[in-house]
Amino acid sequence: MGKKIGIEVSIAVSEAVRAADVDLIAAYPITPQTHIVEHLSELVADGKLDAEFVPVESEHSAMSLCIGSSAAGARTYTATSSQGLALMHEIVWIAPALRMPIVMTLVNRSMSGPISIWNDHSDVMSERDCCWIQTFAENGQEAFDLTLHAFKVAEHPDVLLPVMVNLDGFTLSHVIEPIELMTQAEAGKYLKPYEPTMRLDTKQPVTMGGVGIPAVYTEAKKQYETAITASKKVILDAWKEFGEVYGRKYKPIETYKTKGAEIVLMTMGSISETAMTAIDLMRDKGISVGLMRFRLWRPFPLQEFRRAVKNISVLAVVDRAISYGSQGGPVFMEVRSALYDQEVRPQVFGFVAGLGGRDVTVDMFEDIVSKASKYAEKGKGPVYEMIGVREK
């Protein structure tokens, strides 16, 4: 450990899954699938990873198999993107309801139509209410580290919920970055073997997936909601331990030059790196800007968020998904809602950018900051705004 190598981020994620010593991988190997499962299938075929690799007939089957595997007590993994996730959707709800600690990498790609395989967050935002813990990686190293963290959190007896690790399609998944990998032995210092609380066992029979009649469905929902809310403590502890073991420290919300900043951009995922470059350039010009980004999206880090915005007067939220006919992007709406009952709160302006693989450039961030600054001065702006739309 300690040596960085140049590696494609997708391949690095599969190396993280190998380091986690998973027992079963289920995946449907066609577009929009990535190199993650392709490389895992090679690792299994070459005997470098002792696991079952099941190339199922659809993503619906992939998640169904993951549930069966996890119910049997196996450490279980899958990866998908956009349309694949959509086909999985029905079973995405079932996994947390059965309290299955499955880990899934979601390489974020846009939902068709029009037909698209490129990058935005419309896939994950369509699944945000399913009771999966959701984290977002900014770069390759983070994608690797969050994968190990995901198993640690998911399998914790106080959590037992599936975890979705999000990383941007193409801008992260298909690029080569310097990443520090780990062997199974190195990962083992942090990630212990999975000990199921309950599993399918002929000696102790159990029915999983029973009917939730109206008299008990609400109570079940209460259990799931309580579990995901309580998982935050485990998520934070697991990041703390990760920092102690490997030296890389992670927080639910990351900030960059927010101290004393007049305007703070809010992002998620890999565009945050471009945003930091934009902030450096704007700071050189004397514009007082900073950046805040969510690493943890579900459960929503409410207290951390409120603490982070305490001294901020203007927040410009950049969403990479659109929620048609509503009042802005999903992140913007949640951020604004989180601040509603705060006595002192920043002005919040919503922007939607980078849809369907459109690059979010330094210029765009400068445009967003200048618009937010103008609206803040006036005291109001549009409900939300799409950035970079060609008018003619």
Partner 1 sequence: MAKKKVDAVLAWRDLELGMAITDPGSSAQLKTGDWRSQHPVVDHEKCIKCGLCWIYCPDMAYSPGKEGYYDWNGDYCKGCGICASECPKGVITMVMEEE
> What is the binding site for partner 1 (CB under 8 A)?
97-100, 160, 197-198, 204-208, 210, 212-213, 215-216, 218-220, 222-223, 226
DSSP assignment string, 20-55: TT-SEEEE--STT--HHHHHHHHHHHTTSS-SEEEE
- Minimum Å distance from CB 95 to partner 1? 10
Number of Cβ within a 10 Å radius of residue 137 = 25
Q: Which is nearer to partner 1, 115 or 202 (CB)?
A: 202
Instruction: Respond yes or no on whether the N-terminal peptide bond of residue 113 is cis (omega within 30° of 0).
Output: yes
The smaller minimum CB distance to partner 1, of residues 115 and 213, is found at 213
Give the nearer residue to partner 1 in terms of CB position, either 118 or 224.
224
Rounded to a whole number of angstroms, the minimum distance from the CB of residue 146 to partner 1 is 24
The minimum distance between CB 205 and partner 1, in angstroms, equals 7
CB 48 within 8 A of CB 99: no
Q: Rounded distance, CA 299 to CA 227, Å?
A: 10
Our CA angle for 237, 239, 242, nearest 5°, is 110
Among residues 58 and 229, whose Cβ is nearest to partner 1? Answer: 229
Contact 76, 98 (CB under 8 A): no
Considering the complex, state which of residue 217 and residue 249 has its C-beta at the smaller distance from partner 1: 217
Task: Find the shortest distance in angstroms from Cβ 158 to partner 1.
Answer: 11
Q: Minimum Å distance from CB 20 to partner 1?
A: 23
Per DSSP, the three-state class of 88 is helix
**How many Cα neighbours within 13 Å face the side chain of 61?**
9
Between 218 and 390, CB nearer to partner 1: 218
Q: Please, are residues 353 and 364 in contact by the beta-carbon 8 Å criterion?
A: yes
Which residue, 99 or 232, is less far from partner 1 as judged by CB?
99
CB of 240 to partner 1, least distance (A): 26
Q: Shortest approach of partner 1 to residue 21 CB, angstroms?
A: 24
**Which is nearer to partner 1, 115 or 211 (by Cβ)?**
211
From CA 98, how far away is CA 61, in angstroms rounded? 16
* Whole-angstrom distance, CA of residue 366 vs CA of residue 291: 13
* Nearer CB in complex with partner 1: 79/153: 153
Widest distance between CA atoms in the chain: 70
Tell me how long the chain is. Answer: 392
The C-alpha atoms of residue 259 and residue 267 are separated, in whole angstroms, by 17
Give one word for 161, left, alpha or beta, with left for phi > 0 and alpha for psi -120 to 50. beta
Radius of gyration in angstroms for the set of CA atoms belonging to the chain, rounded to a whole number: 21
User: Of 191, 206, 162, 157, nearest to 70 (Cα)?
Assistant: 162
Which one, of 69, 29, 33, 32, lies nearest residue 51 by Cα?
Answer: 69
> Token pair for residue 47?
């005997």
* φ, ψ at 386 (rounded to 5°): -90, 130
Minimum CB separation from partner 1 for residue 238, in Å?
20
Which of 32/96 has CB closer to partner 1? 96
Least distance (Å) between residue 375 CB and partner 1:
44
Minimum Å gap between C-beta 317 and partner 1 is 34
